[in-house]
Amino acid sequence: MIYLATAAIFIAVALLIWTVLFPLLTRRTVILGRLSRLTTGDASIPAPVKETTRIKDVLSDIGSKIPMSPKDQSQYTRQMIAAGYGKGALPIFMGSKLLLAVGLPVLYILAYSVSRENLQSTQTLLILVALAIAGFLLPTWWLRYKLNKRQTQIFHTLPDILDLITVCVEAGLSMDAALIRATETPQFAADPLAQEIKIATREARAGKPRAEALKDMAERTMVDDVKSFVTMLAQTERFGTSLSQALRVHSDSLRTKRRQFAEEAAAKTSVKLIFPLALFIFPALLVVILGPAMVQIHKFMGTM
């Protein structure tokens, strides 16, 4: 039985290594295929080859077969888009949930339970159920972490981009030109909010109304401050008020809100430090302070 478990673990590790190294091994094949088409005198323009990994294809196939209600599918799709991924990542996400829910218990069985021959014990069954639940929920926790991280980054970047848009509008640029100019700044090259604004401006160039494109941008990001910014722009255009003044007031309010969040996080630091101090710092200090005294007391009691 031990040899069977060792062989199964070896096969699983070998398959995992092959899955990781497969894209690197096939990348040169794609490059050689492009060069061969150029050297053979093919006059047609070579189409771009989309390199996809085998594990993503497998996860996509598994996830596409999982039945989902329209409500859950819409909710997960909105979260994936808000986290910075496209709609096509939903089958991969669902496939990873199913794979981890099955793979973690299987790995536990192969690594521990087979060699110890205690598969029928209650403790082993509880551990397997806990691993299956944790494996199914782990991608959801990861998605929420990425979503919160991206929303926080957008919240902190929005006042700076609004300041730049305000300067562009006061310099004489239109709102569309100001949005494009703000996203072309190297400071916001890899910023998620700048990428969302680029998508909105491209939709506006394609013929979509700017208010509707910005509203869709706010729905994609799922950030309340972006929604308030879009609402402010719509009301400014509707009532004909000063755009630069509205942008300046809104950016000042967002900057005040960002400072208040920073002050709140700083005020919570003293409370969060209580548990590390009580668990790690205070015991070490007690050992350092009371250690020599205990040694002296032990020596004194030994001489009596």
How does pLDDT run across 41-67, given as a tens digit for each residue? 444 444 444 445 677 777 788 878 888
Residue 275 in this model has a pLDDT that exceeds 90: no
pLDDT range class, residue 142, cuts 50, 70, 90: very high
Answer yes or no: is 114 within a domain.
Answer: no
Answer yes or no: is 203 within a domain.
Answer: yes
Domain ranges, residue 13: 1-42
DSSP for residue 191 = -
The two structure tokens encoding residue 11: 């096969």
Query: How many structural domains are present in the chain?
Result: 2
Evaluate whether 162 touches 123 at the Cβ level (below 8 Å).
no
The phi and psi torsions of 82 (rounded to 5 degrees) equal -65, -30
Answer yes or no: is 297 within a domain.
Answer: no
Which residue type, as a one-letter code, is found at position 95? G
Q: Quick one: which of 152, 151, 214, 147 has its CA closest to 179?
A: 214
Which residue type, as a one-letter code, is found at position 129? V
Answer yes or no: is 231 within a domain.
Answer: yes
Cα separation, 219 vs 147, whole angstroms: 13
Answer yes or no: is 155 within a domain.
Answer: yes
- The domain that contains 236 carries what CATH number? 1.20.81
Answer yes or no: is 23 within a domain.
Answer: yes
Answer yes or no: is 139 within a domain.
Answer: no
For the chain, give the mean pLDDT.
80
